[in-house]
Structure 1
Amino acid sequence: MIKVENLSYSFPQKDLYNKISFTLEDDQHCAFIGTSGTGKSTLIDIIMNPERYIFDGKLEITPNCRIGYVSQFSQLDKTKEITVFEYIAEEFIKLQNEINSICAEMETSSDIDSLLEKYQQSLDALDAIGGDDFESNITKKLNLANLSKYEDLMVSKLSGGEFKLIQVIKEMLTVPDLMIMDEPDVFLDFEHLNALKNLINSHKGIMLVITHNRYLLNHCFNKIIHLENTELQEYNGRYIDYNFSLLQSKIELQELADADAQEIERNKKIIDKLRFAATYYTCASRGRALDARVSLLRRLEERRIKEPFVDIKQPEISLVTENEIEETIVLKVNDYSASFKDVLLENVNFEINSTDKVALIGPNGSGKTTLLREIFKNNHESIEIHEDVQMAFLSQLQGEMLNESNTMQEEFFEAGFKNYDEIRTHLFNYGFEEELMNQKIEALSGGEKNLLQLAKISASKANLLLLDEPTSHLDTYSQIALEKAIENYNGAILMISHDFYSIANCMDYVLLIEDKTIRKMSIRKFRKMIYANHFDKDYLEIEQKKKEVETKIALALKDTNFVLAKALSEELEALIKLL
């Protein structure tokens, strides 16, 4: 269906792909992964619009291949006066109207032959997208996504997450040969994420999905395409098995690299001795021995293990506070209410202490972001903030906290940095190379913009962080780095998130929006609630054991204890088989 062979492409300031190759074939559901800014969305655009790009290599797509596409930047048109059913059925209704119009024209026209040709073309187009059963197919898909009650609702009434699912359904129902989705999971609550999982797994046909969502990655795909450092590799199998294969490669390569490092160090010492001897003794044989050792050292250094898929630089996210507050209440919400046409929240009461890490969760459109913004504005009578609190805010609307017309360097000069070296050092920890300092922020990927927001928040040294979907668009390596940073942070955090893993791994407790108010829930109860609804009963226990073994392997590799690392990898493999 699709074959990419030795494809290379560069931006003026950055090489994206170096002779990458892969194929997509019948019934493959492929997850497209890689760190932020590696060019995943650009590669999708090349596949969809090859005529816009000048690239080296081959791109072969089956003739007349119909592509369905769901963008990560889909926006709900609040002015569109159309029901959910009518929105999904637009293409079908359009073709039906064309057929009816042609039939009416036939009754009075003398040019029957051309009309018959148009009639047949419209019939074929309707048949190609399953037009005979489109009404029942729409109902089935809405049921599968648990959205059947919205069939007659106006599109303008949908939340962003609901609209994203409706878009997925609309594209799937046109029976594309290739279904492409770019981060369709962003901002979906867990119920809608589960609905997306069901839609993906029910789809018949080829699918290519950019995602960093660990829940989807573990439950939806039978092929992985991984793009890192201009190179790409494909893996036929589950994401969890692919990760295990990477870990095995990492153990083997680090063992080889360690042996190489020891050999390099041994040769350097020999060369130092030979050079010292050559300084005092003029001898051709000594010179030849020195040259031979230098040549051997050069060969050893050239063959050093360079593996783009296992040696991935994880950003060093550091959340620090300059003004730590002794254990006390830093945020108090008393009898808070919020309305937007309808009542979103009422009778909301909660307190957050100076070191609490708190997740604010609830369905899409339930008022979470509204509440977080009100806290940041700090001018609502129901919200009390400690006088020593300094707040920082991460917005899911990235252009709100970043001036996208700025370069990165300009943005951080405006944030109070004194000189270029200070900016470069700070941003390098977040994965931004020096050549990107003068790049416009608007040219960055969604994940890079969120990392940039986190870099600004870190520099602010605030002691209360308000984070609205901080893991959205972040690759899995950055998500894990953020979790570590949150664990090590000494201030308070109130975080809106639909990422089950981030909540379970680093939050102290949850504030759950239910029936237009908020109740406190322990992480233990939150885990039970999610697992009871969406996982087998043993899944949690196996996942926890898996994480413990992975941590032990990481420590063994740090100590260069490769025998232990290999033994633990066998234990890990047994756990993965249970999942």
Structure 2
Amino acid sequence: MLKVDQLSYSFPQKDLYDKISFTLEDDQHCAFIGTSGSGKSTLIDIIRDPEEYMYDGKLELLPNCRIGYVSQFSQLDRTKDTTVFEYIAEVFIALQDKIATLCTEMETATELETLLEEYQHALDAFDAIDGHDFESNIHKKLNLANLMKHKDLKVSELSGGEFKLIQVIKEMLNSPNLMIMDEPDVFLDFENLNALKELINAHKGILLVITHNRYLLNHCFNKIIHLENKELQEFDGRYIDYNFSLLQKKIELQELAIADNEEIERNEILIEKLRKIATYDSEAARGKSLKARIKIQERLEARRIKEPFVAIKQPSIRLKADHEVMDTFALKVCDYKVSFEDVLLENVNFEIGSTDKVALIGANGTGKTTLMRDIHKNNQESISTAEGVQTAYLSQLQEEILDESNTILQEFFDAGFNTYGEVRAHIRGYGFEEEVMDQKISSLSGGEKNILQLAKVAAQGANFLLLDEPTSHLDTYAQLALEKALINYKGAILMISHDYYTIANCMDYVLIIENKTIRKMSMRKFRKMVYERHFDKDYLEIEQKKKAVETQIALALEATDFELAKGLSEELEALIKLL
């Protein structure tokens, strides 16, 4: 269906791919992974419209291949007056109307040849997307996604997460030969994430999905393509097995690297001795020995070059509060209410301590972001912060915090940095090297923009962080770096998130929106609720144990205790079999 062969492509600022190759065939559900900014979305754009790009190599698609596409940045049109059913059925209804119109025209036309040809084209297009059963197929998909109750709602009344699922359903029902989705999971609540999992697993056909979501990666795919450091590799199998094979390779390579380093040091001593001898003894054999040793050294140095898929640089995210809050609380909310056309939230009362780490959760569209924005503005009587509280805000709408017309350098000058050196020193740890400092923010990937937001938040030294979906668009390495930074942070945090792992690993308790108000929930009860309503308890608990063992392996590798790392990898393999 799709074959990419020896493809290379560059931006003016950087090379993206160096002779990458892969194939996608019938019924493969492929996860497309890689660090933020590695070029995943660009490669999808090239596949969708190859004529627009100047690349080297070959890209082959079957003739007349229909491509379905769901963008990571799709926005809900609040003015749209169609119902959910009409929106999904748009193509079917248009073809149905065209066929009916042509039939009517043929009843009175004297020249039928052109009309018959148009009629046959429309009929073929209708058959190709299983048009005769479209109503039944729409109902099946809506039931699968638990959205049948929204069938007659206006599209404008949907939450962002619900609309994303409706887009997925619409594209799938148009029967594409190749279905491409770019981070379809971003901002989905637990229920909608499960619905997306069901839709992906029920889809008959080829899927290519960019995602960093650990739950989807572990449950939905039978092929992995991994783009990293301009190179790409394929893996036929589950993500969890691919990840394990990378970890085993990392243990092996690091053990080899230690041995190589020792050999390089010994060889360097020999080379120095031979050089000294060669200065006073010009015998040919001495010179040959020196040249031979230098070649051995070059081979050892070349072998020491790190593998592009296991030596992935994790950003260094550091969140620090410049001063502590003297009061025991950071925030008090008393009798808060917000409404638009209808009441969204009312009778909201809660308090957050000066070092509390709190997750704000609730279904899509229940008012989480509205509340967080109001807390950040702090201009309502129902919201008060303690003396000395300084907030820093990360928005799920990145353009709220980042001026996309700015370069990276100008953005940090605007944020209060004084010199080029200060900016360079601060953002380098976040993965932004010197050569991209003059790059426009608009050209960055979604993940890079979120990391840039985190760099701005960190620079403020605030003692109360307001984080709206901070893990969105982040690759798994950046997610783990963020979790570490959240755990080590000494101030207060209020975080909106639908990422179970980040909540479970980093937060003290949960504030949950239900029935238009908010109640406090312990982490124990939160886990129990998630197990009962959304995810399998055994899976999540094994996944947590798996992460703990992976952390132990990382520590063993840091201590160069390879025997321990190998023993732990066997323990990890046993856990993976349970998953």
User: With structure 1 as the length reference, what TM-score do the two structures score?
Assistant: 0.98
Write the letter of the residue equivalent to 2:424.
Answer: R
* SS of structure 2 residue aligned to 1:413: helix
Write the letter of the residue equivalent to 2:474.
Answer: L
In the other structure, the counterpart of 1:338 is 338
Query: 1:249-268 maps to which residues of 2 (within 5 A)?
Result: 249-268=249-268
* SS of structure 1 residue aligned to 2:108: coil
Change in CA separation of 1:219 and 1:327 when aligned onto 2, cut-off 3 Å = farther
How far apart are residue 275 of structure 1 and its match? 4.3
How far apart are residue 71 of structure 1 and its match? 0.6
CA distance in 2, matches of 1:536, 1:352: 30
Relative to structure 2, which stretch is displaced further, 310-319 or 73-82? 73-82
In the other structure, the counterpart of 1:188 is 188
CA distance in 2, matches of 1:232, 1:544: 29
Relative to structure 2, which stretch is displaced further, 552-561 or 132-141? 552-561
CA distance in 1, matches of 2:224, 2:287: 52
**Preserved CA contact (<8 Å) 2:325 2:386:** no
**Preserved CA contact (<8 Å) 1:253 1:305:** no
Write the letter of the residue equivalent to 2:52.
Answer: R
The question of 1:417 aligning with 2:404 is answered no
**Preserved CA contact (<8 Å) 1:391 1:465:** yes
In the other structure, the counterpart of 1:360 is 360
Query: 1:355-394 maps to which residues of 2 (within 5 A)?
Result: 355-394=355-394
In the other structure, the counterpart of 2:82 is 82
In the other structure, the counterpart of 2:23 is 23
Query: 1:51-450 maps to which residues of 2 (within 5 A)?
Result: 51-275=51-275, 286-326=286-326, 328-450=328-450
Relative to structure 2, which stretch is displaced further, 259-268 or 241-250? 259-268
CA distance in 2, matches of 1:475, 1:508: 24
How far apart are residue 283 of structure 1 and its match? 6.5
CA distance in 1, matches of 2:499, 2:366: 17
**Preserved CA contact (<8 Å) 1:327 1:355:** no
Write the letter of the residue equivalent to 1:570.
Answer: E
Q: Deviations over 1:44-101 (max 9, x none)?
A: 0111100001111111101111111111111111111111110100000000110111
How far apart are residue 284 of structure 1 and its match? 6.0
How far apart are residue 533 of structure 1 and its match? 2.7
**Preserved CA contact (<8 Å) 1:31 1:224:** yes
How far apart are residue 550 of structure 1 and its match? 1.2
Q: Deviations over 1:386-427 (max 9, x none)?
A: 120111100111111111111111111111112112211211
CA distance in 1, matches of 2:263, 2:389: 54
CA distance in 2, matches of 1:116, 1:293: 80
How far apart are residue 378 of structure 1 and its match? 0.8
CA distance in 2, matches of 1:521, 1:211: 30
**Preserved CA contact (<8 Å) 1:392 1:457:** yes
Relative to structure 2, which stretch is displaced further, 373-382 or 301-310? 301-310
Relative to structure 2, which stretch is displaced further, 252-261 or 529-538? 529-538
Q: Deviations over 1:417-476 (max 9, x none)?
A: 121122112111001111100000010000000000000111110111100111101101
How far apart are residue 280 of structure 1 and its match? 7.1
CA distance in 1, matches of 2:566, 2:111: 77
CA distance in 2, matches of 1:48, 1:569: 40
How far apart are residue 268 of structure 1 and its match? 2.0
Matched positions, count: 579
CA distance in 1, matches of 2:411, 2:537: 48
Write the letter of the residue equivalent to 2:382.
Answer: S
In the other structure, the counterpart of 2:573 is 573
**Preserved CA contact (<8 Å) 2:327 2:386:** no
Relative to structure 2, which stretch is displaced further, 548-557 or 297-306? 297-306
Write the letter of the residue equivalent to 1:463.
Answer: N
**Preserved CA contact (<8 Å) 2:33 2:210:** yes
CA distance in 2, matches of 1:95, 1:361: 42
Change in CA separation of 1:97 and 1:268 when aligned onto 2, cut-off 3 Å = same
Write the letter of the residue equivalent to 1:377.
Answer: K
* SS of structure 1 residue aligned to 2:77: coil
Give me the identity figure in percent: 74
**Preserved CA contact (<8 Å) 2:327 2:387:** no
In the other structure, the counterpart of 1:548 is 548
In the other structure, the counterpart of 2:39 is 39
CA distance in 2, matches of 1:539, 1:329: 36
> Which runs of no fewer than 5 residues in structure 2 stay unpaired?
none
> Which runs of no fewer than 5 residues in structure 1 stay unpaired?
none
Q: Deviations over 1:149-179 (max 9, x none)?
A: 1111111111111111110010111111111
In the other structure, the counterpart of 1:461 is 461
CA distance in 1, matches of 2:330, 2:70: 42
How far apart are residue 277 of structure 1 and its match? 5.4
**Preserved CA contact (<8 Å) 1:257 1:305:** no
Write the letter of the residue equivalent to 2:357.
Answer: K
In the other structure, the counterpart of 1:13 is 13
* SS of structure 2 residue aligned to 1:94: helix
CA distance in 2, matches of 1:41, 1:233: 17
CA distance in 2, matches of 1:277, 1:125: 82
How far apart are residue 532 of structure 1 and its match? 2.2
Write the letter of the residue equivalent to 2:171.
Answer: E
* SS of structure 2 residue aligned to 1:107: helix
CA distance in 1, matches of 2:186, 2:435: 29
The question of 1:506 aligning with 2:494 is answered no
Q: Deviations over 1:324-352 (max 9, x none)?
A: 22461010001111111111111111111
Q: Deviations over 1:125-154 (max 9, x none)?
A: 101001001001111111111111111111
* SS of structure 2 residue aligned to 1:498: coil
* SS of structure 2 residue aligned to 1:538: helix
Write the letter of the residue equivalent to 2:418.
Answer: K
Write the letter of the residue equivalent to 1:295.
Answer: K
Write the letter of the residue equivalent to 1:34.
Answer: G
How far apart are residue 262 of structure 1 and its match? 1.1
Write the letter of the residue equivalent to 2:115.
Answer: L
**Preserved CA contact (<8 Å) 2:391 2:462:** yes
Write the letter of the residue equivalent to 1:554.
Answer: A
* SS of structure 1 residue aligned to 2:560: coil
Change in CA separation of 1:326 and 1:262 when aligned onto 2, cut-off 3 Å = farther
Q: Deviations over 1:173-211 (max 9, x none)?
A: 111111100011111111111111111111000000000
CA distance in 2, matches of 1:156, 1:465: 32
**Preserved CA contact (<8 Å) 1:333 1:349:** yes
How far apart are residue 287 of structure 1 and its match? 4.9
In the other structure, the counterpart of 2:559 is 559
CA distance in 2, matches of 1:544, 1:146: 28
**Preserved CA contact (<8 Å) 1:467 1:493:** yes
Write the letter of the residue equivalent to 2:388.
Answer: D
Write the letter of the residue equivalent to 2:375.
Answer: I
In the other structure, the counterpart of 2:484 is 484
